[in-house]
Amino acid sequence: MGEFIAEMQERLLPEYEQMKNYNVFTADQVREIVTRRERLFLKINKSHQTISDYLEFILYEKQMSQTITEKEKKMHVKLTGLKASIATRIMRLYREALSKFNHDRRLWSNWIKFSKKSNPVEVAGIYEKMLLYHGDFPDFWVDAALWLYEHNRLNIDRVKDILLRGLQRHPDSEVLNKCFFDIMLKEASLASDERNLAENTLSEQDIKLERVEAVYRNSMANITHLDYFVKLLESCEDHQELTGKLQRMIIDDMQEKFPREPGLWDLLAQRELRGFHLGDLEEEELDTSDEEPANKKPRSVNARSLKRRIQLCVTVYKSAVEELQTPEMWNLYLDAMLALNSDANTERILKQQCLADALQAGHRSQLMGVKHYATLRKMLCTAPGGREAAVTILTEALKADSSVEMHELLLATHIQSDSEPLIYELFNKIHKNMGREALPLWRSVILYYRTRQDSLGVRRLDEIYGLACKSAWPEFAELRSDYLRYLWQERSVEEARKEYAKLAILPPMSLALHRQMVQLESSVAVHDQASLKYWRMCYDFMACYFGKTEPRVWVEYLAFERDHGETKNISLLAQRALTTLEPQYVAAFEAERTLSYVGAAIVG
C-alpha cells in the first residue's frame, strides 16, 4: 500500500506543473488541490479502509477531469496529457479498491463503464476478472460477450468462449441462450451465401445457420418457457430471408410443447397479421432444389394485402377458441380485434365486422368477460333499436356470470332507456340474491330515482333507503348518512331529525352517521335552544356508543360546548370523559384536548 501511495503522489508532480504552466488553475487553487488530494490519500492509506473512501477519491478525480475538459473548451487548448494522467489514476484507484472489495458488483460496473470511455482496450480484461468473482450472475456473462462482439467482430471466437463458459454455469439461463442465439444469427446474416466450399454444396452462410440451429437445439433441453421461444422467433423475423426453416422448426417445437397455451395461438395469429404466413414456411421447407438461384431474393413479408392478412389472423383465432375454449383465449382474441379497430383508416368495414363477429361468438361461448360485454353493449346501444338486443344479451350473460360488474352493465342499459319497471325489477333481484358486494348497484339505483324528481321516485327512494338502513352489513352504513342528507336537503329538517333518532340506536352502529348529523345541524342558519338540543343530542349519541374507545368524540363534544353550548358543562363533561374512556385512551384524550384548546386560543 505504501508503494502505491508513494507512486501515486510522485505522478502528481508533473500534473501540478502543467496546471501552473498552462494557467489552468491559480497558485492558490493548485495548493487547494494538493491539500485535498493529500487528505484523500490519507483516507485510503489508513488501517481500516472503507469502500466509501475510495469512492470519494474516484469521484473527486472524475470531477477534476470534467473541470479540465471545460477549461479546454474555454481556453482553446488541449490538455490531453493532464486528462490521461487523471484517467490512469482513476483506473488504478478502481483496481486497488476492487482488490479489497471485490464483492461490490456496483463498483465493478462503474469501473467498466468508466473504462469503456477512457480505456476500451482494458474492458475485456476487467470483465474476465469480474466474472471470476461474480460469474453466478448470467447478465454479467451477457454484458461481457456483447461488449466484445460490438467492440470488435473479429473477437467472435472469444465471444463464443465466454458464452459457452457462461452456459456451463447457467445452462437454463434464457438471457444467455438468447444472447448466444442472436450473435450466431447475426454472424450468419453477415456471411457469404456463395457456394464456394468443398463440392459446392454449402455456403459459409449455410454452415453458420447450422450453428444457430445447434445453439437453439441445446437451449431446448434446458428451457421450457414459452416467452423464450417467442423471443427467438422475433429475432428470426429480423432475418426473414434466412430463417424460414429455423422458424418452422421453432414453431413445430412450440406446438409440441405448448399445444394448449393461449399465448402460442395468439403469437401465431399475430404473425399472420404481420405477414409471416405459416404456409410460406411450409413451402420453403418443401423446396429442396439443389440449384442456386441466380439472385437470392428475400421473401416479402407484407406481400399479401391487409385484407388477406386480417382474414388469416382471424382464422387462427377462430381455430384457437374452438380448440381451447377458455376465457383467457377468448380474451386474447377479442383484445386483438379491439386493437385492430383502433386504426380505422384502412379496411374499416372488415375490421368492424370481425369485431362484431368475435363479440357475438364470445357471447355464445359463455366465456366472454365483462370488459368485452361492455364493448358489445356500447356498440349495440349506439345502433338503432340496439338497446333491446343489449338487454337480451346481458340478461343471458348474467346466467353464466352474476358478478356485480355484469349487473352494472344491465342496470346501466335500463337506466339509459329509462325503463323504470325493469330497473325496479332488477333491484329487487339484487336485494334478494346479492350481499354487501352489491353496494355500487344500490348507489346507482338511488341516483337514478333521485334524478327523477317525481312522486314515484320519492316512494321508491323511501323504500330503498328503508331497506338499506335495516341492512346489517357495515358497508351499508354510508347509505344511512346519505339518507339523512337526502331528507334534510330534499324534504325537511324535521323528517331528517326524526329518522336520525331511529337510526342512531339501530345496529350496526356508525360513527360516520352521527358526524353527518352534526354537520347538518351545524348548517342551521339560526341556532336557538331547540336546535342546540338536537345538535347536542348527536354528541350524546357519539359519547354513549363510542365514548370508551374514541377520544376524539369527547374532544369534539367539549369544543361544541365551548363554542356553542354551555361552558358550565365543560368541567363535568371532561370528568365524564375520563371515567368513560378505557385507560389506554386517556393520554390520547388529554393530548388532543390540549391541542384543541391551544388551537382555539390562537384563532381567538
Instruction: Name 37's Cβ contacts closer than 8 Å, sequence gap at least 6.
Output: 12, 60
Q: How many CB atoms lie within 10 A of CB 512?
A: 11
Span 16-74, pLDDT tens digits: 877 877 788 888 888 888 889 889 988 888 878 899 999 999 999 999 999 999 888 88
Pair 192, 203: CB distance under 8 Å: yes
Pair 457, 449: CB distance under 8 Å: yes
DSSP states of 6-64: HHHHHHHHHHHHHHHHTTSS-HHHHHHHHHHHHHHHHHHHSSS--HHHHHHHHHHHHHH
Whether the pLDDT of residue 289 is over 60: the answer is: no
Cell reading at 465: 333507503
Q: Please report the pLDDT score of residue 405 as a whole number.
A: 96
pTM for the structure as a whole: 0.80
Q: Please report the pLDDT score of residue 165 as a whole number.
A: 96
pLDDT tier at 246, thresholds 50, 70, 90? very high
Cα separation, 244 vs 242, in Å, equals 6
Whether the pLDDT of residue 295 is over 50: the answer is: no
3-state secondary structure of 475: helix
Cα separation, 587 vs 370, in Å, equals 51
Low-confidence winner among 213-217, 257-261, 290-294, 415-419 (lowest mean pLDDT): 290-294
Q: For the chain, report the end-to-end CA distance as a whole number of angstroms.
A: 71
Percentage of the chain exceeding pLDDT 70: 93
Cα separation, 554 vs 124, in Å, equals 73
Q: Please report the pLDDT score of residue 3 as a whole number.
A: 63
Mean of the pLDDT values across residues 571-584? 93
Q: Please report the pLDDT score of residue 527 as a whole number.
A: 79
Mean of the pLDDT values across residues 201-205? 83
- The dihedrals phi and psi of 144, each to the nearest 5 degrees, come to -65, -45
Give the residue from 221, 171, 210 showing the smallest Cα distance to 188. 210
pLDDT tier at 297, thresholds 50, 70, 90? very low
What's 24-37 look like in SS3?
Answer: CCCHHHHHHHHHHH
Pair 527, 559: CB distance under 8 Å: no
Span 232-242, pLDDT tens digits: 999 999 999 89
Whether the pLDDT of residue 142 is over 60: the answer is: yes
Q: What is the mean pLDDT of the chain?
A: 90
pLDDT tier at 293, thresholds 50, 70, 90? very low
CA 57 vs. chain centroid, Å, equals 38
Most confident of 7-21, 27-41, 509-523, 559-573: 509-523
Q: Please report the pLDDT score of residue 595 as a whole number.
A: 86
Q: For residue 508, is the peptide bond before it cis, meaning its omega torsion is within 30 degrees of 0?
A: yes
Q: Please report the pLDDT score of residue 41 as a whole number.
A: 87
Cα separation, 92 vs 292, in Å, equals 57
Q: Please report the pLDDT score of residue 326 as a whole number.
A: 96
